[in-house]
Amino acid sequence: MRRKLSALAALATVVAATAVALVVPTAGPAAAASCPNGYVGLTYDDGPNPSSTTALLNALKAANVKATFFIWGQHAQQYPDLLRAEANAGMWIANHSWTHPHMTQLSQSGMQSEISQTQNVIQSTIGQTPKLFRPPYGETNSTLKSVESSYGLTEIIWSHDSQDWNGASTDSIVNTAAQMTNGSIILMHDGGYQTTINAVPRIVQGLTSRGLCPGMIQPGTGRVVAPDGSSGGTTTTTTTRTTTTTTTRAGGGGTTTTTTANNGGGGGSCTVTPSTQTWNGGYVQNVTVKSSGMTSGWTVTIGVPSGATISNGWSATFSGSSGTVTATNVSYNGNASGGQAFGFQGTGSPSGMTFSCSTR
């Protein structure tokens, strides 16, 4: 109880210091004391795997935490006992396709087949139907999103990539995890990597020392919440905002312009850095958003020049396809630090396209 009171006192200080912040502490259970700074999602893809699943589960159990396992359907068919062990250990079981293809290169029926076969094997093996889907390689498009929705699946990408699949050392995995903040989701693999298994206790220790806890990715919203599905003792913080500058980028391929907007409320600010590739009749924009301070989300306003359209976007929610379009962060891509990436492609020339960023 003392810890809770001092946490509230600290919140009161924040309110006084920033004046514009509305701080709404939700009634929290015991978790509030140990997780005052919120929850992050630990995720493990591509299993089950006979060379790592058992050791990984043991490491997670020893650390007394739960994680989300994005299951490769064929592997679940091959190793049903390992899938059962994951479910019995209380891990959250999610869909990661049947054959691990580049989903965006498939027809709609191909996408349906990948998703439905995996739903079916998981249902028949552990009696649960997944509610979350992660496309292999994080590659998605509007067709895939509609297929996911038709199966009641929420798409989850990640905010932090451990690079364990790319040979990252245990130290490096732990360092990436140390960058996570409330709501972050880290990509790791049940892929036979000892580095990933060795990182578990150090990741959890690091999170604990920063008042963070591994949590559950909530179906529907894709947010990371307390392991019991409640919002737990986390604090909902809203800052008022005003937005400012806009810069126009010049046409031509591959150039980059940075646009800055300051949050007038003294809470946070954000910058947006577009990177453009063009070809005859079309373009791709990859955009990095960096924000800081008491930022719980961002919106990038895009001025689409006449004659150009946005035909497909990813890792953000888009309001339209031409004229003034806003791209707002989705739950897995809305953290305050570290830089969040989204992108879109379209037709026409992006020359003269404008970007501005605001936070809330």
Q: Residues in the site for Zn ion, rule: CB under 5 A?
A: 45-46, 136
For Zn ion, the closer of residues 69 and 355 by Cβ is 69
User: In angstroms, rounded to a whole number, what is the distance separating the alpha carbons of residues 351 and 316?
Assistant: 22
Which residues are designated catalytic?
A: 45, 189
Of 3 and 102, CB closest to Zn ion:
102
Nearer to Zn ion, 137 or 149 (CB): 137
Give bridge partners of residue 326 from the DSSP assignment: 301
Find tokens 């990177």 and name the residue.
275
- In this structure, the number of other CB atoms found within 10 A of the CB of residue 202 comes to 17
Q: Is 30 exposed, middle or buried (0-12, 13-18, 19+ CB in 10 A)?
A: exposed
Residue number with CB closer to Zn ion (103 or 294): 103
Least Å distance, CB 344 to Zn ion, is: 23
Shortest Å distance, C-beta 129 to Zn ion: 20
Taking the C-alpha atoms of residue 210 and residue 293, their distance in angstroms, rounded to an integer, is: 17
How far apart are CB 117 and Zn ion at their closest, in Å? 16
Q: Which residue is nearest to Zn ion (CB)?
A: 45
Closest CA to 62 of 216, 192, 200: 200
The CB-of-254 to Zn ion minimum distance in angstroms stands at 29
Contact at 8 Å (CB) between 214 and 204?
A: yes
CB of 115 to Zn ion, least distance (A): 14
**DSSP characters for 93-120?**
EEE--SS---GGGS-HHHHHHHHHHHHH
Nearer to Zn ion, 46 or 155 (CB): 46
For the CB of residue 75, give the shortest distance to Zn ion in the complex, in Å.
10
Q: Cβ closer to Zn ion: 45 or 86?
A: 45
End-to-end CA distance of the chain: 31
Whole-angstrom distance, CA of residue 140 vs CA of residue 338? 22
Cα-based torsion angle of the residue sequence 118, 123, 125, 130 in order, rounded to the nearest 10 degrees: 70
Measured CA to CA, the distance from residue 85 to residue 56 in angstroms comes to: 11
